Structure 1
Amino acid sequence: MPPPRPFTYLDGRQRWPAEQGYFLFVSRERFQALEDGRRVTDLCSQSIGELPAGAKRKPMICFSGSKKGEITHIARAEVRYGAESGRDRLDMWNHKELPHALRISAIKKELTGPQAWRAAKALDGGPCSPAAFMVVMDALKKADPKVFKIADKLIDRRPPPGDPEPTASRQNWAYQRDAVITALEIARLPKELFRSPTQLPEGKRPPKSVFDSDKEMKSIEDILVLRDAAIRDPDWQFVTEQLYPAKTFENGATKLTVVLANKLELEKQLGVDLIYVNETLNAVAFVQYKMLRGRDGEDGYRPDGQLDVEIARMDAAAKMLAACGVDDSCDGYRFGTDPFFLKFCKKLLTHNDQGHVPGYYLPLSYWRKLVATPQARGNRGGLIVYPETFGRRHFTPSAFIDMIARGWAGTTTLQTNVLVPYLAEIMRGKTGVVLAVETTQSGDEAPEEQPELVERKFVPPKPRHPGRKRKVIQL
């Protein structure tokens, strides 16, 4: 008797509306190798001939055996990736062993209809088209009802659940999750390090953050240790004063600390911002999330008073940053002077989708110009934007992440040095924000003690107009 499998690769209750099949016959030695592999992870793969493009990434049922002309196992299968040159890889899971071997000849005898010849060809080995698959399943039901029942149970044609209603709590959950994944990708860390359900978990007590169910979530004491080990800038000491959930992601020499700076319940939060502090390249970027209405954003977004409040907060920071002077260094070079971005989300992620909430990134300075154009006005003259309003003038998630990760956008090095007090003010505020601090560790360098907090003065570069009094910014 084979040992019990520790886990199932894909849950058998997952929707699997298979409409095509594959008949796989391999040698006894190869079949035994597949058996040994699936006993560990329930997943095994076989290199097969290249399939038509329309058959790839489509749910299918695989009938397999170690002797040509006999079926002994049935499983769910899909071709997602290529294998060797000119070949594809067939992934199989949720295997079901038949109570007895079923001969292919018994199925062929029951084939009827104009597609019977296609079905007969597929039964000899290879892909089975949707039309031929229906003929095969009808013939299988007549040839062996028990085997048909096993195969039919692997097919789940239930309609997909409806799109989640974008309530305030669900939106905030999606924003928090999207912000953490964005921070991971900016830091070039695998997003698989962060495991969080796509949808807000249902229950009597709604979670306060996407880290609530994470056993590795840092408490305030852990944050103190984390600061000593990774955050060397004394200006970040204010993080240790916060009673906020935090989590550290590590990959090689890169350590990313994500702090969710709000302990209020999601229903009571007004929104979630992403503040990404790239210590490696000395840049800070801000993202404010907004939701377009409608199933796919077709009902647009109408700016409200809340957005005005948030923009005013950004303006206050920009006014302070403007006093930093011009950064002429290579490290401080940026494409533009605007570190603030708005992300307009089309809809929440549905079902088991992973990754980013689909949407559009716009610099705040471009948004100001856009709302002043006729394109941002509705039929009655009201201010409203739609996905088509942006056209091609927006950043995709991948483009935005690459731009921030490489330091082409965000605050300059001079601005970053004076930005921490402003961030501290936001951290102590009422609006939910996500703060991500990226640091690069060095195995040879480890601070033995926390640097003392000292009063520092920042003197801007030499002014371009001699005779004018220099500005001294007190930290």
Structure 2
Amino acid sequence: MPPTGKQYLGARYPWVPEHGYVLSIGTDRLKELESDLAGQSICSQAVPKIPAALRRRWMLCFISAKKGYLTHVARSVVYYPAESGRDKLDIWNVMPFGKAVRVSAIKTSLRGKQAWRAKQALGGGHVSAAAFGLIMEALRRVDDKAFKVAAGLVNRRPPPPDPNPTPAKTNWAYQRDAVVTALEFARIPTEQLRVPPQLDEDATPGLTSIFDGDEDVTSIEDLLILQDLDEGSEGWQFIKRQRYPAKLFTNGDTKLTIILANKLPLERQLGVDLIYVNETLKSVVFVQYKMFSGVDGELGYRPDDQLKTEIARMEAAAAKLASVAADESCEGYRFGSDPFFLKFCSKLLSHDAKGHVPGIYVPVSYWKKLAKTPAAKGKKGGAIVYAETFGRRYFTPTHFVDMVGRGWIGTTALQTDILVSYLSDAIEGKKSLVLAIESSTDAGPDDDFEDGYEPLRQTVAPPKPRHPGKKPKIIQL
């Protein structure tokens, strides 16, 4: 059974826990944790402090969401203390047992000199290394199927060699992650994207798009699918007419068209990897990816001249946007005036994830301030940042997706008209820049299509309505 939510397995390297944790929570809290997992692949729970020496060491977490029973098992670790003065238990890969296992049965089956310690640990809290081994053996005797679920989270295999980070593979990873993020913005199931997280070693040379092998993608000759979007302003038609790989995703009344623009000279690109255009709320958000170095990002990120060039291009667009009159409407209200964001994450090629790669988001305007502070300086005075450098001052993927989806951040409605000239330049870059245009599926039967072409349609059926007979709402993203 696959893990709940979009949780990255992190199976690139061995994962062998030497001790464990028994977490007792209510069903309501379990649902909250599962909701967090669906959004950002990891969740956390405040727990009593564990010995400092055991921090950063893997723990197999047994979860009890029903009194007297173990119902789930997960991977976990404690890195930092929680705000309440306790410790923060990070949890991922939450796996449900086929049927709940009675704790009293495990206690009865315990054997060995440390059985008393294991019985005590099953009451909740940290499980020592000696007690952990006895509990696993007892679980095998009581319920072999439950044991296999728990043992399945343990990975003793040696890590595979690092993939050679060729430009083609990096380009593939950027594109795929940006497309998955756009799907999450639009609340469209990411299962509709059937693209592997890494470029196949035997892939056809010359691939420039993750959609190149997709038969359902709009071809260069018949981009008429883009004309099935809302009419919008005359300027938007330029974007919709571009001859680039495009694919339609739908979910009920919400439609998302992804355009992968990576054909012409890089010099004319805006300097971002993802442009999300929401036609319903008239907002645009720009995202630029930056990678922390190291296997898991532990070596940090060093700002370079490329980032300076990209930010300069963003500043040029921002200066133009600043000249637009303030949007006083409720629909045009935004938290801030900065539609540009940086996403920091560990190397995309290191994660075999079904969802987007976990990362942190910050506005470019905040980054420029942070880069001038001592916190962004290394031991030798050079500029470098780590995940810890941002403290709590960043948006998690869950927060970012929610704010974009509800129109709280991005450009105002009045600013979209002048963006066309910038998007027309950006869409002509060689780099894997993604333009995502979302609208409602309200095209009528009398729509005209040039040259007799009919628009390509996504064959995946929309989800069944929760309330049959009630008119579904158009998702206002």
- Band of TM-score, shorter chain: 0.5 to 0.7
- Look up the match of 1:80: 95
Sort the Cα spacing of 1:161 and 1:131 in 2 relative to 1 into closer, same or farther, 3 A. Answer: farther
Cα distance in 2, alignment partners of residues 369 and 336 from structure 1: 15
Once the 2 structures are TM-superposed, how far is the Cα of residue 414 of structure 1 from its aligned partner?
Answer: 0.4
Aligned pairs (5 A) from 1:48-447: 56-57=73-74, 80-81=95-96, 88=100, 114=112, 131=134, 158-162=157-161, 164=163, 166-203=165-202, 205-206=204-205, 207-224=207-224, 226-233=225-232, 234-263=234-263, 273-348=273-348, 350=350, 352-442=352-442, 445=444
Sort the Cα spacing of 1:237 and 1:343 in 2 relative to 1 into closer, same or farther, 3 A. Answer: same
Sort the Cα spacing of 1:447 and 1:410 in 2 relative to 1 into closer, same or farther, 3 A. Answer: farther
Contact residue 349 and residue 357 of structure 1 kept, 8 A: no
Cα distance in 2, alignment partners of residues 193 and 310 from structure 1: 32
SS at match of 1:300: coil
Contact residue 175 and residue 432 of structure 2 kept, 8 A: no
Sort the Cα spacing of 1:162 and 1:232 in 2 relative to 1 into closer, same or farther, 3 A. Answer: same
Once the 2 structures are TM-superposed, how far is the Cα of residue 194 of structure 1 from its aligned partner?
Answer: 0.7
Sort the Cα spacing of 1:293 and 1:335 in 2 relative to 1 into closer, same or farther, 3 A. Answer: same
Q: Kindly name which structure, 1 or 2, has the bigger radius of gyration based on alpha carbons.
A: 1
Cα distance in 2, alignment partners of residues 49 and 359 from structure 1: 33
Contact residue 282 and residue 412 of structure 1 kept, 8 A: yes
Cα distance in 1, alignment partners of residues 159 and 67 from structure 2: 30
Cα distance in 1, alignment partners of residues 352 and 335 from structure 2: 37
Cα distance in 2, alignment partners of residues 16 and 195 from structure 1: 27
Once the 2 structures are TM-superposed, how far is the Cα of residue 350 of structure 1 from its aligned partner?
Answer: 4.1
- Look up the match of 1:448: 447
Moved more, 337-346 or 235-244: 235-244
Structure 2: stretches of 5+ with no match in the other structure: 4-10, 19-64, 76-92, 102-108, 116-131, 142-150, 451-477
Once the 2 structures are TM-superposed, how far is the Cα of residue 354 of structure 1 from its aligned partner?
Answer: 2.1
Cα distance in 1, alignment partners of residues 351 and 376 from structure 2: 32
Sort the Cα spacing of 1:286 and 1:195 in 2 relative to 1 into closer, same or farther, 3 A. Answer: same
Task: Please give the TM-score of this superposition, normalised by the length of structure 1.
Answer: 0.62
Question: 1:274 corresponds to which letter in structure 2?
Answer: L
Contact residue 270 and residue 425 of structure 2 kept, 8 A: no
CA RMSD of aligned residues (A): 4.4
Deviations 1:15-68 (A, max 9, x none): 99999xxxxxxxxxxxxxxxxxxxxxxxxxxxx99886596248xxxxxxxxxx
Deviations 1:333-375 (A, max 9, x none): 0000000001111232646432121221110100110111111
Cα distance in 1, alignment partners of residues 431 and 349 from structure 2: 23
Sort the Cα spacing of 1:51 and 1:198 in 2 relative to 1 into closer, same or farther, 3 A. Answer: farther
Cα distance in 2, alignment partners of residues 325 and 79 from structure 1: 49
Deviations 1:403-423 (A, max 9, x none): 111000000010012212221
Aligned pairs (5 A) from 1:22-41: none
Contact residue 71 and residue 97 of structure 2 kept, 8 A: no
Sort the Cα spacing of 1:200 and 1:53 in 2 relative to 1 into closer, same or farther, 3 A. Answer: farther
Cα distance in 1, alignment partners of residues 15 and 292 from structure 2: 31
Sort the Cα spacing of 1:216 and 1:308 in 2 relative to 1 into closer, same or farther, 3 A. Answer: same
- Structure with larger RCO (C-alpha < 8 A, sep 6+): 2
Question: 1:438 corresponds to which letter in structure 2?
Answer: E
Moved more, 408-417 or 291-300: 291-300
Once the 2 structures are TM-superposed, how far is the Cα of residue 135 of structure 1 from its aligned partner?
Answer: 9.2
SS at match of 1:56: strand
Sort the Cα spacing of 1:380 and 1:312 in 2 relative to 1 into closer, same or farther, 3 A. Answer: same
Contact residue 262 and residue 432 of structure 2 kept, 8 A: yes
Deviations 1:191-220 (A, max 9, x none): 111121122211263432221232211112
Once the 2 structures are TM-superposed, how far is the Cα of residue 430 of structure 1 from its aligned partner?
Answer: 3.5
Cα distance in 1, alignment partners of residues 261 and 137 from structure 2: 55
Once the 2 structures are TM-superposed, how far is the Cα of residue 187 of structure 1 from its aligned partner?
Answer: 0.7
Once the 2 structures are TM-superposed, how far is the Cα of residue 441 of structure 1 from its aligned partner?
Answer: 1.9
SS at match of 1:421: helix
Cα distance in 2, alignment partners of residues 223 and 195 from structure 1: 21
Contact residue 302 and residue 383 of structure 1 kept, 8 A: yes
Task: Please give the TM-score of this superposition, normalised by the length of structure 2.
Answer: 0.62
SS at match of 2:235: helix
Cα distance in 2, alignment partners of residues 370 and 251 from structure 1: 39
Question: 1:169 corresponds to which letter in structure 2?
Answer: A
Question: 2:215 corresponds to which letter in structure 1?
Answer: K
Question: 2:410 corresponds to which letter in structure 1?
Answer: G
Cα distance in 2, alignment partners of residues 182 and 368 from structure 1: 24
Contact residue 18 and residue 156 of structure 1 kept, 8 A: no
SS at match of 1:221: coil
Contact residue 296 and residue 347 of structure 1 kept, 8 A: yes
Cα distance in 2, alignment partners of residues 132 and 52 from structure 1: 14
Q: What percent of counterpart residues are identical? A: 53
Sort the Cα spacing of 1:9 and 1:366 in 2 relative to 1 into closer, same or farther, 3 A. Answer: closer
Cα distance in 1, alignment partners of residues 16 and 294 from structure 2: 27
Question: 2:290 corresponds to which letter in structure 1?
Answer: K
Cα distance in 1, alignment partners of residues 446 and 229 from structure 2: 9
Deviations 1:395-448 (A, max 9, x none): 1111111011100000001001221222112112344310000011226x4563
Cα distance in 2, alignment partners of residues 173 and 221 from structure 1: 23
Sort the Cα spacing of 1:308 and 1:442 in 2 relative to 1 into closer, same or farther, 3 A. Answer: same
